[in-house]
């Protein structure tokens, strides 16, 4: 059996957490390949390693030196080395000197911010006694900035096929000229999934500081239930709506290969975690798997008589949004009406008024309404398809709290129901749906 293990920033934060990671890896021979993030915070108020590296790059551009930010980076990694007594197996001072010099020589933001993962992987490899493999030699990006999946799979499979164990830095790869290219923040999750796919892993373990996915945000509902098992499709719905245990793009490499993911807690390794699988049996009465949502939306509602039977009006409105660089989240429609749900930030700087004017000129609507200050709430679960009355229960629970639903968008597969409420009603809406389905 082959397991690929990705360890997040809290798992790399100190010598103590490095020890936990080594115990986890050494405790299961099938945990053969580790992908690591840059060190996270050890305590509230501390700056994350990646943010220090961004600051070091800014300092380099301004002064020609990495300056004080890199001294903090140096202190963090030297501290880990001292805690783990790595002096005999790795010259950390020389490694840090070399890294600082290379940052200055390359003067590349992507290269600079990737060094958190690079250095963490160097230390973890030395501590675990496993080979270090640089992600820049394995993960390949094309000229368009997109991942070259085929070449990447070939390189990883070739490099790891010869090794029983290895440590690989997450978050970055390189283009075909050797220039470092980074994934979005949190992209070490994606790196781990790519490695899992390339080696045909039996399981991708994503180790973090929580014991899996919760039914909803614990900042809204105290001690919400944990999700034991969910599908890729359910996770996609929850992640899209703001559940943030995994980077949303992590799913795609492993889903294609049918590799399950297990979310595990570095600080509670015996907890079962949450398994994410291709398909699962829906338990009787289990209608909803999770509840998620986000604030900060504006609706642009357009009404026009006979729009439903006409040609081109919706296309013209979509072209207006595209021309102005405005993506939309959802587009519920009715008889002679369509509503565009847009993140409010995209409508700043006069764009809202400009879009309204251009829609008026393009389609001559009877009425346009702009509704700011909205939140989206999503109830997600494959059990929604086979349970009669789920939608009724949701909206009855919301109505009992006195919340007015602004719009409804039922996914075409019947596995997610998304609806809008005023931002001020967001938290009590989440609590109302949770209590209806999870409080017995």
Q: What is the mean pLDDT of the chain?
A: 92
| 48 touches 38 (CB < 8 A) | yes
The pLDDT confidence band at residue 242, using thresholds 50, 70 and 90, is low
Give the tens place of pLDDT for each residue, 357-397. 999 999 999 999 999 999 999 999 887 876 788 899 999 99
Is the pLDDT at 248 greater than 90, yes or no?
no
CA-closest candidate to residue 2, choices 172, 163, 213 = 163
In percent, how much of the chain has pLDDT > 70? Answer: 97
Shared fold status for 3-277 and 290-438: no
pLDDT for 236 equals 83
- Sheet bearing 140-141, strands edge to edge: 140-141, 172-175, 180-182
Is the pLDDT at 105 greater than 60, yes or no?
yes
User: What's the Cα-to-Cα distance from 245 to each of 49, 126, 206, 239, 272, rounded to whole Å?
Assistant: 19, 28, 9, 8, 16
What fold is seen in the domain 3-277? Carbamate kinase (3.40.1160)
* For residues 313-337, average pLDDT: 92
The pLDDT confidence band at residue 239, using thresholds 50, 70 and 90, is confident
pLDDT for 79 equals 96
For the chain, which residues make up each domain, given as ranges? 3-277, 290-438
pLDDT for 388 equals 80
Q: Name which of 12-21, 110-119, 224-233, 265-274 the model is least confident about.
A: 224-233
Comparing 57 with 44, which gets the higher pLDDT? 57
DSSP 23-90: HHHHT-TTEEEEEEPPP--SSTTPPPHHHHHHHHHHHHHHHSS-HHHHHHHHHHHHHHHHHHTGGGT-
pLDDT for 286 equals 67
Is the pLDDT at 93 greater than 80, yes or no?
yes
Is the pLDDT at 65 greater than 80, yes or no?
yes
pLDDT for 118 equals 98
Domain 290-438 indexed as CATH 3.20.130.10: no
Comparing 43 with 402, which gets the higher pLDDT? 402
Is the pLDDT at 23 greater than 90, yes or no?
yes
Between CA 206 and CA 408 the distance in angstroms is 34
Helix, coil or strand: residue 355: helix
* For residues 11-39, average pLDDT: 97
pTM of the predicted structure, to 2 decimals: 0.87
Between CA 155 and CA 160 the distance in angstroms is 9
pLDDT for 394 equals 94
Between CA 96 and CA 115 the distance in angstroms is 10
In percent, how much of the chain has pLDDT > 90? Answer: 78
pLDDT for 319 equals 96
pLDDT for 412 equals 59
* For residues 239-262, average pLDDT: 82
pLDDT for 308 equals 74
Is the pLDDT at 152 greater than 70, yes or no?
yes
Comparing 218 with 251, which gets the higher pLDDT? 218
The pLDDT confidence band at residue 435, using thresholds 50, 70 and 90, is very high
pLDDT for 280 equals 81
* For residues 86-105, average pLDDT: 95
Number of H helices, E strands in the chain: 13, 16
**Tokens 């945990």, residue?**
31
Give the tens place of pLDDT for each residue, 280-299. 876 644 688 999 999 999 99
* For residues 177-205, average pLDDT: 94
């Amino acid at each position: 059996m082959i397991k690929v293990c990705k360890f997040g920033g809290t798992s790399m934060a100190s010598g103590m957490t490095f020890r936990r990671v080594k115990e986890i890896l050494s405790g299961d021979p099938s945990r053969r390949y580790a992908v690591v993030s840059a060190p996270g915070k050890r305590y509230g108020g501390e700056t994350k390693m990646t943010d220090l590296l961004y600051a070091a790059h800014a300092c380099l551009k301004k002064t020609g030196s990495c300056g004080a930010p890199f001294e903090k980076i140096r202190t963090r990694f030297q501290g880990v080395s001292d805690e783990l007594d790595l002096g005999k197996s790795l010259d950390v001072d020389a490694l840090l000197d070399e890294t600082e010099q290379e940052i200055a020589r390359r003067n590349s933001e992507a290269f600079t911010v990737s060094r958190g993962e690079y250095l963490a992987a160097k230390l973890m490899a030395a501590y675990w006694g496993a080979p270090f493999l640089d992600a820049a030699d394995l993960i390949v990006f094309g000229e368009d900035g997109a991942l070259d999946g085929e070449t990447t799979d070939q390189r990883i499979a070739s490099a790891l096929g010869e090794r029983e164990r290895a440590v690989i830095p997450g978050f970055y790869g390189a283009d075909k000229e050797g220039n470092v290219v980074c994934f979005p923040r949190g992209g070490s999750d994606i790196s781990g999934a790519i490695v899992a796919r390339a080696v045909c892993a039996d399981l991708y373990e994503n180790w973090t500081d929580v014991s899996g996915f919760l039914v909803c945000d614990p900042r809204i509902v105290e001690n919400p239930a944990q999700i034991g098992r969910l599908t890729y499709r359910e996770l996609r719905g929850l992640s899209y709506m703001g559940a943030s245990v995994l980077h949303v793009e992590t799913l795609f490499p492993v889903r294609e290969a049918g590799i399950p993911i297990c979310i595990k807690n570095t600080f509670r390794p015996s907890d079962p975690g949450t398994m994410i699988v291709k398909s699962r049996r829906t338990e009787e009465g289990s209608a909803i798997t999770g509840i998620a949502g986000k604030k900060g939306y504006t609706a642009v509602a357009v009404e026009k008589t006979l729009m439903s039977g006409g040609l081109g009006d919706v296309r013209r409105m979509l072209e207006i949004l595209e021309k102005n660089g405005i993506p939309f989240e959802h587009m519920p429609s009715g008889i002679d009406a369509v509503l565009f749900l847009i993140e409010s930030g995209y409508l700043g700087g006069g764009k809202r008024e400009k879009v309204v004017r251009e829609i008026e000129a393009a389609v001559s609507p009877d009425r346009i309404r702009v509704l700011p200050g909205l939140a989206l709430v999503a109830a997600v679960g494959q059990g929604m398809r086979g349970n009669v009355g789920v939608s009724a229960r949701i909206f009855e629970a919301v109505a009992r709290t006195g919340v007015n639903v602004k719009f409804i968008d039922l996914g075409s597969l019947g596995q997610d129901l998304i609806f809008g409420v005023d931002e001020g009603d967001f938290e009590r809406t989440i609590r109302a749906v949770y209590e209806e389905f999870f409080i017995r």
